[in-house]
Amino acid sequence: MIPALRLQATLDLLSEIESDPRPADAVTSGWFRARRHFDDRDKGAIIDLLYGLLRHRARLGWWLDRLGNADSPRNRLLAWLTLAEGTAPDQIKRLFDGAKFAPAAVTAPESALLAGLRGCTMVHPDMPEEVRLECPTWAVAALRKRFGQAFGTEMTATLEPPPLDLRVNPMKSTREGALQDLKAMGLRAEATKLAPQGIRLRERLSLARLPGLKTGEIEIQDEGSQLVALLVDAKPGDRVVDFCAGAGGKTLAIAAQMQNKGHVIACDVNQARLKRGAERIRRAGLHNVETRVLTSETDQWVKRHKGGFDRILVDAPCSGTGTWRRNPDARWRAPDLGLNGLLALQARILASAARLVKPGGRLVYATCSFLSEENEDQVSAFLAAHPAFRLVPLRKAAPHLADAVHSDNLRLTPARHETDGFFAAVLQRETLPATPSPGGV
């Protein structure tokens, strides 16, 4: 495929992403499935260009506004070619020539845009810090409060493409064996620093090159997500609920921790996500998991199973700020409910799921968010309203993580830990006091 065709394909895909409410990775996967004529090299080049545009949206938009141009996918691409790749206007016009499968010819206003951008770079001294760091207006104040002086460092880290993290399924393989297999394929594979079953690949590759994904020997899972699942500390024979299981990534890790013994129930309000999770569970060779669709966070199933479980994981729906390096399009999709609506939903989910915890059992509340409002503040409010629960400090819940995190809760960031941004708190329901015998003192 010649470059002009890749440019047009990127424009088509970017336009579809902007008109589709689904995340960019889901739209991209479906888009390529419907266009199987693209080979791996074409796909790789298109995806690289697409994610470059997504990661620089605010900066490109700032330049377009400065020069009086509409912030459209086509104008963003023209600006990217000039500012990021240093392509001369004449070269761009040869690519945008209106030929079959190529982008339409450059117009007079677009020629003026290219001329105005020539010699410029992506960052300008007049550019506000939040634009330079690609931080959306709705999140600026909360993130500045969360990170303080480290705001710039942390936001810069979210602009870097993430590595590919894998989790080895101990029911089918070992990390040592999987590392040997990957290195034999010529891949730069290394053990993750904190997650005991994690492997990190520091290169982009077609997932079709990883046969272990099809056999269930490995799963794609960020190291931070693996650590959240480990924090549940599920033992063989336990009864566990993954209350907001989604497609089941943490469910799989928890069930494997339990060595296929005990019982894990993966719950969610989205039946399609649970169906995808069920397929992954079968592939992983796990037999201790069942899926259950809930009508809402207060489904009657919760009431009927009050106090019946050893461990509950609430991986709550959240703003997703911790996933921005992996999902750059999510920056520009403010929470559907608004932040206040999202906070109220999280509080309801946490309170409802807490009913499932038996005395002495534990509840792990987690988000993939940086925001204190969704994390520490949410936990503090829950503990104030539920005196039967207490916080278990990380140094007791997971001593092996304490030195890396330096907090009572699990708080991970790309800048400090090379993971996605995750928060998790371990909450324990106190055991009931012994009932005094009749006539006793």
Q: What is the pLDDT of residue 100?
A: 87
User: Is residue 283 a contact partner of residue 219, using CB atoms and an 8 Å limit?
Assistant: no
Q: What CATH class has 3-127?
A: mainly alpha
Tokens found for residue 242: 């993954």
Residue 81 backbone zone (phi > 0: left; psi -120 to 50: alpha; other: beta): alpha
pLDDT digits (tens, 9 = 90+) for 20-63: 988 999 999 999 999 888 888 899 899 999 999 999 999 999 99
State yes or no: pLDDT of 433 exceeds 60: no
Q: Do domains 3-127 and 164-220 have the same CATH topology?
A: no
Selecting among 135, 244, 318, 368, the annotated active-site residue is 368
Residue 294 backbone zone (phi > 0: left; psi -120 to 50: alpha; other: beta): beta
Residues, the chain, total?
Answer: 441
Map residue 434 onto helix, strand or coil.
Answer: coil
Distance between CA 123 and CA 141 in Å, rounded?
22
CATH topology of domain 164-220: Alpha-Beta Plaits (3.30.70)
Q: Where are the domains of the chain?
A: 3-127, 164-220, 223-429
State yes or no: pLDDT of 179 exceeds 70: yes
C-alpha distance from residue 54 to each of 17, 154, 212, 351 (Å): 10, 18, 30, 37
H-assigned helices in 209-265: 212-215, 223-231, 249-257
Q: How confident is the model at residue 441 (pLDDT cuts 50, 70, 90)?
A: very low
What is the dihedral angle through the alpha carbons of 283, 287, 293, 298, rounded to the nearest 10 degrees? Answer: -140
Q: What is the pLDDT of residue 336?
A: 78
Map residue 186 onto helix, strand or coil.
Answer: coil
For every residue of 129-144, DSSP letters joined together read: HHHHTT--HHHHHHHH
Tokens found for residue 350: 């946490």
Per-residue pLDDT, averaged over 260-272, amounts to 95
pLDDT digits (tens, 9 = 90+) for 97-147: 998 889 999 999 999 999 999 999 999 999 999 999 999 999 999 999 999
Q: What is the pLDDT of residue 2?
A: 64
Q: Which residues contact 372 (CB under 8 A, 6 or more apart)?
A: 142, 145, 146
Q: Residue type at 149?
A: Q
C-alpha distance from residue 336 to each of 317, 332, 373, 384 (Å): 11, 12, 17, 28
- What's the first-to-final CA gap in the chain, in angstroms? 86
Distance between CA 434 and CA 174 in Å, rounded?
44
State yes or no: pLDDT of 405 exceeds 50: yes
- Decide if 135 is catalytic: no
Give strand pairing partners of 267. 292
Question: What CATH number does the domain located at 223-429 have?
Answer: 3.40.50.150
Q: What is the model's pTM?
A: 0.93
